[in-house]
Amino acid sequence: MTAFFCPPTFIPSSKKLSVTLTDSGFKSSVNLGDPSSDRIIMVMCSILDTRGAGEVQTGMTIAGVTATRAGAEFGIQVNLASFYALVPSGSTGSLTFAGGGAVLTRHVGVYRITGWLNPSPVSAGFGRGGGSAARSFSVATVDGCSVIGLSAGDSNGSSWSAGVRTYYNADGQGLIHTGCLVENVPSGGISVTNSNNRAVGGISWR
């Protein structure tokens, strides 16, 4: 029972969770970070499509590896999706996208995850989109989780909940995309809010 309350610093180094942003932007050739036998690449993707185009992100390959979709939100025009794959080798790689619909622009945030206890997310939470407004996502957590969040829309000036680290911001081609990271989250779940967006979502990992 005592182990449940141990801080993350007591986790053996081989199992100490590390989540690092390796790349972001309006691109399909990306930096994957240092190779590792347990390296999982997580791609958080936002899409601006022609209004009413519907679901536009159904699949992805990461450096030639078929990725698993962890979660997605399909709004009227701004859509989010997250994909992950075990990619142990190579420091760069290409992303390929599958899905219908007319994509106007696409933005990705690429994360390198090592030291995980499980090779898949603990939880995924995505909120339905609409007009620009404050929206939240909620995910389940176990002790020591990291939570990766994504918000996208067409309005400037959004911000994350107090204490949530903004990991990057991108503004271009009609799509504003911002990522966040919350580390060492205890068990019991977490809700994260972005103040002004059309769609929001997140993944918890341990």
Domain span at residue 79 reads 17-205
Helices vs. strands in the chain: H and E counts, helices first? 0, 16
Pairing verdict, β 145-153 and 190-197: unpaired
pTM of the model: 0.86
**11 lies in a domain?**
no
How far CA 194 is from CA of 91, 114, 128, 137, 141, in Å, comes to 32, 27, 13, 9, 19
Give the whole-angstrom CA distance, residue 105 versus residue 101. Answer: 12
Q: Which residue has the tokens 């939100």?
A: 73
**62 lies in a domain?**
yes
Q: Which residue has the tokens 């992303």?
A: 95
Comparing 20-24, 100-104, 107-111, the range with the smallest average pLDDT is 100-104
The edge-to-edge listing of strands for the beta sheet with 29-31 is 29-31, 92-98, 59-62, 65-66
Comparing 29-33, 39-43, 57-61, 142-146, the range with the smallest average pLDDT is 57-61
**6 lies in a domain?**
no
Give the whole-angstrom CA distance, residue 71 versus residue 83. Answer: 8
Inform me whether the pLDDT recorded for 9 exceeds 50.
no
**9 lies in a domain?**
no
Q: Which residue would you say has higher pLDDT here, 108 or 9?
A: 108
Split at pLDDT 50, 70, 90, the class of 173 is: low
| Distant-in-sequence, close-in-space partners of 3: CB < 8 Å, separation ≥ 6 | none
Number of domains in the chain: 1
Average pLDDT for the chain:
83
pLDDT in tens, 41-89: 999 998 887 766 566 688 999 999 999 999 988 766 788 899 999 999 9
**89 lies in a domain?**
yes
**7 lies in a domain?**
no
